[in-house]
Amino acid sequence: MGKSGADLGVVAGLVRASFLVNAVYAESAREYGLTVQQGQLLCVLMARPYGMGDLGATLGLEKSSLTGLVDRAVRRGLVRREPDPDDRRAVHVVLTGEGHELAEDFYAATCRRVDELAAGLSTPDRDRLAALLGTVVRENQAPTVFLDALQP
């Protein structure tokens, strides 16, 4: 088994890259007083409000785990539940003003940190990596748990 990055296969490269990204995500979450799951929740809700069923599917959480996560975020004043206009039995989870502000700050800091992981790549290599990862994400129908970083 090779030790340099050039010797990594697809599996080892993706797994080790996911560990790097997860570590950055956890570091950002700690800095903002969030759990990783709360950070994920805020980032998902930046795009739009979600119903509980769709939110659970997107985050990969069982109903009881999601309910606890949302309850804790409600207590912190980061999200609120609003009635679903199409189904009186359902609710949408929506960022509060405070939650939106925290989500934007957390998102920006996390984007900067993740971007630094590829700082040693040339622009063409970064573009190629983005294209390849985009293909992997699309072909595997990965949920949108993190928006594309806004370009300056």
**pLDDT tens digits for range 85-132:** 888 888 999 999 999 999 999 999 999 999 999 999 999 999 999 999
- In this structure, is residue 116 part of a structural domain? yes
pTM over 0.85: no
Rounded CA-CA distance 79/101 in Å is 11
- In this structure, is residue 79 part of a structural domain? yes
Rounded CA-CA distance 1/5 in Å is 11
Overall domain count for the chain: 1
Rounded CA-CA distance 127/28 in Å is 25
Per the structure, the complete domain to which residue 78 belongs is given by 17-139
- In this structure, is residue 124 part of a structural domain? yes
pLDDT for 5: 53
- In this structure, is residue 118 part of a structural domain? yes
- In this structure, is residue 147 part of a structural domain? no
Q: Give the pLDDT confidence of 129-150 residue by residue, as tens digits.
A: 999 998 998 999 887 777 665 4
- In this structure, is residue 25 part of a structural domain? yes
- In this structure, is residue 1 part of a structural domain? no
- In this structure, is residue 119 part of a structural domain? yes
pLDDT for 2: 47
**CATH, residue 49:** 1.10.10.10
